[in-house]
Amino acid sequence: MSPIELKEELYKFIAPTYPDIQIEIIDTPDNIRSLYFTDEQFKLLYPKQRYHLLIHLIPNDFFEQHLAHTTWFELAPNENPDELDYHDQETIAEIKASILAILRNKVSFLSLLDKKFNDGTSKCFGDFRLAKQILTNLKFSIEDQFDIFHVLMDEGGYCDCEILLNVFKESEYAKKYWSK
Ligand SMILES: [Zn+2]
């Protein structure tokens, strides 16, 4: 599929959810196809979260046929691809157990987030704004938060509600939700 055709197909999948997204496709001389997705809504999200959101809009078989060996860059406006920061699996594996234990016990991040959802004062915005606010109040640094959210994403928590529903299934919110 040519870059132009592929771009057109991708817009069909993605534009209903991200109407203002800009997609660029560039084939490098060594035959690697790079895809650049830029959207204002990505500003508050980690690159890994952005990727997760995009990938769910694209049917599996289309991905396997046309996108399997491509490199992706998910950008907010004016961001540079070199600035994108991820944790690799090895790092996540090293820090995961201690981070989850801290969130569960010591500072009761979990109870604070759980409370926000249960007393009906907050809803999920599809990002980490509630969790970030709690962690910031608990004096976790930006670097700590980067570690924490990469562990949570690795456990299936890509937004505030998914932290409770997928990571901390013992939370009141999750118990209520899954028993529905
Ligand atoms: Zn959510």
| Residue 121 pLDDT class (50, 70, 90 cuts) | confident
| Across 118-145, average pLDDT | 92
Q: What is the mean pLDDT of the chain?
A: 93
- Domain 3-83 fold: GMP Synthetase; Chain A, domain 3 (3.30.300)
CA of 9 to the centre of ligand 1 (A): 27
pLDDT reported for residue 108: 82
CA of 10 to the centre of ligand 1 (A): 24
| Residue 106 pLDDT class (50, 70, 90 cuts) | low
* Least confident piece of the model among 46-55, 79-88, 140-149: 79-88
CA of 127 to the centre of ligand 1 (A): 7
CA of 84 to the centre of ligand 1 (A): 23
Among 119, 127, 121, smallest CA distance to 163 is for 127
Among 162, 148, 154, 161, smallest CA distance to 48 is for 154
Annotated domain spans of the chain: 3-83, 89-178
CA of 43 to the centre of ligand 1 (A): 17
Q: Is the pLDDT of residue 107 over 60?
A: no
pTM: 0.76
The DSSP output letter for 41 is G
CA of 157 to the centre of ligand 1 (A): 8
Residues in contact with 166: Cβ distance below 8 Å, sequence separation at least 6, in sequence order? 155, 156, 157
Task: Quote the CA–CA distance of 150 and 88 in Å, as a whole number.
Answer: 9
| Higher pLDDT pick, 60 / 31 | 60
| Across 113-118, average pLDDT | 92
| Across 32-50, average pLDDT | 95
